[in-house]
Amino acid sequence: MSSNHLDTLYRQVIMDHYKNPRNKGVLENDSLTINMNNPTCGDRIQLTLQLEEGVVKDAKFEGEGCSISMSSASMMTQAIKGKKLDEALKLSEVFSQMMQGKDYDDSLDLGDIEALQGVSKFPARIKCATLAWKAMEKGIKEEQQ
């Protein structure tokens, strides 16, 4: 598959998540709420997580921002549901490595998240892509304390 065709496919995946976000909304009850923003560009996210017995039972987000930040939040909430907390954190670590253009553990099935790997070529956009992931890390680490 040509690089140009792959870039087009990845853009389509990103725009699909942006226009049709998965897990948009707020969880009620005993959910954990994390608010974060990217002052550089104005992206903001409110992530709510339902954590039970060391597992991400559910995840939802609300927010405003560019297509990269909102599609990344959509992809992230999909990817972490049903994962153990350490698995979710490992996925976040792999995503961070991918965003920095570093070698990463490609044995993990990243699914749609892989579409964001091109963001690593645009340093100013990396914070957009990682905003939701940083919120998830912060929430899990607070829960583990």
- For the segment 70-110, what is each residue's pLDDT rounded down to a tens digit? 999 999 999 999 999 999 999 999 999 999 999 988 888 89
Q: Is the pLDDT of residue 48 over 90?
A: yes
Give, in words, the CATH class of 3-144. alpha beta
Determine the pLDDT at residue 10.
87
- Retrieve residue 94's tokens: 């792999």
Q: Is the pLDDT of residue 5 over 80?
A: no
CA atoms within 13 A on the CB side of 78: 15
Angstrom distance (rounded) from CA 64 to CA 8:
24
Angstrom distance (rounded) from CA 13 to CA 97:
20
Q: How confident is the model at residue 1 (pLDDT cuts 50, 70, 90)?
A: low
Q: Is the pLDDT of residue 2 over 70?
A: no
Angstrom distance (rounded) from CA 89 to CA 139:
11
DSSP bridge partners of 33: 48
**What single-letter amino acid sits at 53?**
E
CB distance 94 to 110 below 8 Å? yes
Determine the pLDDT at residue 100.
94
Determine the pLDDT at residue 106.
81
- How close are the terminal C-alpha atoms of the chain, in Å? 46
Looking at residue 121, the DSSP 8-state letter turns out to be G
Q: How confident is the model at residue 133 (pLDDT cuts 50, 70, 90)?
A: very high
Determine the pLDDT at residue 105.
85
What is the tens place of the pLDDT at every residue in 10-25?
899 999 999 999 999 9
Q: How confident is the model at residue 8 (pLDDT cuts 50, 70, 90)?
A: confident
| Domain range summary for the chain, segments of one domain joined by + | 3-144
Angstrom distance (rounded) from CA 96 to CA 133:
9
Task: Tell which phi-psi region holds residue 82, choosing left (phi > 0), alpha (psi between -120 and 50) or beta.
Answer: left
- Retrieve residue 33's tokens: 């709420």
Determine the pLDDT at residue 121.
92
Determine the pLDDT at residue 109.
85
CB distance 67 to 128 below 8 Å? no
